[in-house]
Structure 1
Amino acid sequence: EVAEIQEQFQSGLVTAGERYNKVIDIWAAANDRVSKAMMDNLQTETVINRDGQEEKQVSFNSIYMMADSGARGSAAQIRQLAGMRGLMAKPDGSIIETPITANFREGLNVLQYFISTHGARKGLADTALKTANSGYLTRRLVDVAQ
């Protein structure tokens, strides 16, 4: 689908902005399909019943149970662990068109690892800024209360 959009762009049928938006939408939909298929696969397991026939039943997979109950993790984190990493953001906040199709279980190549560092760096910086900001607001609140 992405190659088709690229051909349309080369032919001049779509603008660069339209191409960017369509490519992002296509990869986001693919990411959702991978996530849903993976969670469906974790949710059920095939067992052999008393009659010797295979049947599906609800799985007691510990990773699925943790995410499903909300105790720890989420479907998005499991997707990154076993499905695909997905679309990443640049340091300026825009989304990179080429997603990371590898996962943490199989490992990332050098380019995929470098692309994923943008988000990690931004997350740590945001955490540091939020901590300083909340401390400042707490001091102001205490000053007003006195």
Structure 2
Amino acid sequence: MTVKTLTFGELGAAWLIAAAAAFVIDFGIASLAAWLTKAPATFAPFTLLPVFAGCFGGALMACLAYLALQTFLKGDFRLVYLIVISIALIASYHLPWRLTYSASPRFMGVTLPMQLALGLMHTVVVSLSAIALFAFSHQGLSQGE
């Protein structure tokens, strides 16, 4: 089966949809996690700007990976894409884990629940990016293209 080649406009739309949806969900997760874990208000990963940057940057990286695979691989490359973003997601879990041994005073007192919330936020971004990209690529399939 051939997957519809996405245009830059479709890639951009998928990026914006995934990033905006991830931001809404992730900021809710961050707010809830900050309240449940009693994280200090200065705990940077749960504040607005890092959540925004993580959502929009993470979705952009997922879209760029899709663009690269779409450019260089022929046929249905979606399984390869899922493998690539899964590896990237697993690698991204190092960032929350790294807070355990960081010497920065900004991250003193980080707890496992805080780290799990951050990992969940990473998962949301990657999942919504894949869903948005696959939705756009599937539109062409359902229309017989």
Structure showing greater relative contact order (alpha-carbon pairs closer than 8 Å, 6 or more residues apart): 2
- Relative to its length, the structure with more strand (as a share) is 1
Normalising by structure 1, we get a TM-score of: 0.34
- Relative to its length, the structure with more helix (as a share) is 2
Normalising by structure 2, we get a TM-score of: 0.34
Higher CA-based Rg: 1
